[in-house]
Amino acid sequence: MIDWPESLVQELAAKRAIIFIGAGISSGSVSRNNPEVRPPTWNKLLESAGERFKRADGEFIKKLLDSDKLLDAAEVIFHGVPPADKRNFFVGQFATPDFLSSKCHAAIQGINPKIVITTNYDQIYEKQCDALLAGRGYSVKKFNDADLLDCVRSSDNLIIKAHGCISSPGNLILNRSDYYSLKKQNAGFYSVLDGLLTVSTVLFLGCSMSDPDIQLVLENTNISAPSAHTHYAVMPEGGHAALKSAMESAYNIKILEYNSEDNHSRLLEGLEELKILVDSERALAV
């Protein structure tokens, strides 16, 4: 089981904590029409793209993927690919399969955080929350939406799509060039994101923590506004102690580990237990 800190439970109960969802949460979902089809991991997505667009430099791409240089691999794979072909590829990967939400998505919604941030392109969590229609108590905003801050301040729960959404496949953050354009053209998004991570406790779920967006913002906030209150990242057991220590020091993150055997079933058990703890804390506050 996951040893949930009391302070994190209290922050979630008061809706002051943010939950950050990565690709690991979507990996438990399946297609409505074919239970063998699941949302691709980043590596699988780029492998499929390399095969689709028949890149001649396959060995070089494989070396980049094996060394976790995903931004560079994406840069090489999609270099020169026509926008329409790129769009069709991503629609086929994330929209066409009609993925169903998983029990992990349901548990996260049950915790009922005010803000969920995700780097996932899919709309699985939005469907779980019935957030694709207005008036359901949720707002969904992408990095390039001008009214993001208004939604942060509103009474609705907010889902922030930090890397874009398959609903707008022409505006996905994928490679190093995209990151540069994002920072140059959407500086206001980073100001909001930086502010949210400075004043809020963040619980990272299903994230590898190698995302440059996450690293940059966490490093900046840890340097500019150091705090005794840490963020939290739920990760499988087995990481090297030196790397975990460096991550905790650089990003002000405490790693909460779980046993990943049985297809990560203990992660779901942990999230369901967290929901119970948060519900109990809220009941005491009434």
| Burial profile 203-212: b = 16 or more Cβ within 10 angstroms, e = fewer | bbbbbbbebe
What lies within 8 Å, CB to CB, of 242 at 6+ separation is: none
Rounded-to-integer distance, Cα 118 and Cα 135, Å: 21
Spatial distance between the Cα atoms of 18 and 62, rounded to a whole number of angstroms: 35
| Tokens 């020091």 sit on residue | 249
Q: How far apart are CA 241 and CA 243, in angstroms?
A: 6
pLDDT over 70, % of the chain? 93
Residue whose C-alpha is closest to residue 25's, from 121, 105, 95: 105
How large is the average pLDDT for residues 266-282? 96
- Specify the pLDDT at position 18: 96
- The highest-confidence range among 23-32, 47-56, 203-212, by mean pLDDT, is 23-32
Adjacent-strand bridge partners of 117: 20, 160
* Element containing residue 257 per DSSP (H, E): strand 253-258
| Chain centroid offset of residue 209 CA | 10
Q: In the predicted model, what is the mean pLDDT of residues 70-90?
A: 92
Average pLDDT, the chain: 88
Residues in the chain: 286
Instruction: Collect all residues with Cβ–Cβ distance below 8 Å to 70 and sequence separation of at least 6.
Output: 42, 43, 46, 64, 210
Is the pLDDT at 211 greater than 60? The verdict is yes
pLDDT at residue 212 in the model: 63
Which one-letter amino acid corresponds to residue 13?
A: A
Residue type, 243: L
Q: Which residue has the tokens 């942990």?
A: 270
Would you say residue 88 has pLDDT above 80? yes
pLDDT in tens, 215-239: 766 766 665 556 667 899 998 888 7
pLDDT at residue 272, as a whole number: 96
Please report, for the chain, the start and end positions of each structural domain, with discontinuous segments joined by +: 6-29+100-285, 42-95
Is the pLDDT score of 131 beyond 60? yes
Residue 242: pLDDT over 90: no
% of the chain with per-residue pLDDT over 90: 56
pLDDT at 194: 82
User: How far from chain centre, in Å, is Cα 181?
Assistant: 20
Secondary structure (H, E, C), 117-167: EECCCCCHHHHHCCCCCCCCCEEEEECCCCCHHHHHHCCCEEEEECCCCCC
User: Does this model's pTM top 0.95?
Assistant: no
Give the whole-angstrom CA distance, residue 235 versus residue 152: 28
What pLDDT sits at residue 220? 65
CATH of domain 6-29+100-285: 3.40.50
